Amino acid sequence: MSGDQAAVSHTAQTLPRHVAIIMDGNGRWAESRNKMRIMGHRAGVEAVQGVVEVCAKKKVEVLTLFAFSSENWRRPKKEVGLLMELFMTALGREIKRMHKNNVRLRVIGDIGKFSKPLQDRIKKAEALTHDNTGLTVVVAANYGGRWDVAHAAKKLAARVAAGELSVDDISPELIAQGLSTHGLPEPDLFIRTGGEQRVSNFMLWQLAYTELYFTDTLWPDFDETALDEAFVSFAGRQRRFGRTGKQVVQACQPDSCQHDA
């Protein structure tokens, strides 16, 4: 097999196990149509439905969606209030469909800052879908990557203070276990819609070796074709995890393929 063929055989199988998306551009989508920004967020919920369906169909294991950042409280009160209402109604409506489709919902972020009814609805939705075995949808709400790491650090510090753990035991693996995403594979593919090329405090630890994909498409316009384009881009990447390209190709010859991500 030539080097090129080997590279193709290595990449052809590569559908991401975990896709993490910054769903950006709802406001601009609405503004360009002379509509209120909330109309863009509503259209964004419809795009979520489509992407959840496609990911479930393609057997992606985990789909993480950034819905509200810890910095989004800085928006006008009215927009924040309408977003909270939208979460309530969308969660109430969508959870039944998700449950029927064997989807498991997990919410990450500091949800203690949300209203009590919204917190209850989140907990009920997680409990209802807890044993589902299909796609896991992780919604990041009042989430910040710095919060996530600080929260993990606090838990470890408490264990050290209680004498259960020594400072020398603290390792990247222990920190990862304390993150909100514990138990999930790390994201393979990160997608940001809306044209900005930044991570905006999303999964700072978890994205260490994630493939990054940016598109100008605004989130409400992000459909199956757009998702397929991201998957094609991902399939063409060579993930080296610090090794040389030659090592990666050799390790993935059919008789000696090893994955130790």
Q: Are 131 and 160 in contact (CB under 8 A)?
A: no
Is 24 designated active site? yes
- Under the criterion CB under 5 A, does residue 24 sit at the interface with Mg ion? yes
Burial of 65 (0-12, 13-18, 19+ CB in 10 A): buried
- Point out which span in 22-30, 138-146, 200-208, 231-239 binds Mg ion (CB under 5 A): 22-30
> Which candidate in 26, 72, 102, 142 is catalytic?
72
- Under the criterion CB under 6 A, does residue 222 sit at the interface with ligand IPE? no
Is 169 designated active site? no
- Under the criterion CB under 6 A, does residue 190 sit at the interface with ligand IPE? no
Q: Are 43 and 29 in contact (CB under 8 A)?
A: yes
Single out the residue of 14, 200, 238, 250 in contact with ligand IPE (rule: CB under 6 A): 200
State which residue, 85 or 196, has the beta carbon closest to Mg ion.
Answer: 196
Query: Least distance (Å) from Mg ion to the CB of residue 36?
Result: 15
- Terminal-to-terminal C-alpha distance of the chain: 24
State which residue, 223 or 237, has the beta carbon closest to ligand IPE.
Answer: 223
Give the integer Cα–Cα distance in Å for 216 and 75: 22
- Under the criterion CB under 6 A, does residue 69 sit at the interface with ligand IPE? yes
185, two tokens: 């594979």
Measured CA angle at 173 (ends 172, 175), to 5 deg: 65
As annotated, the active-site residues are 24, 72
- The binding site for Mg ion (CB under 5 A) comprises 24
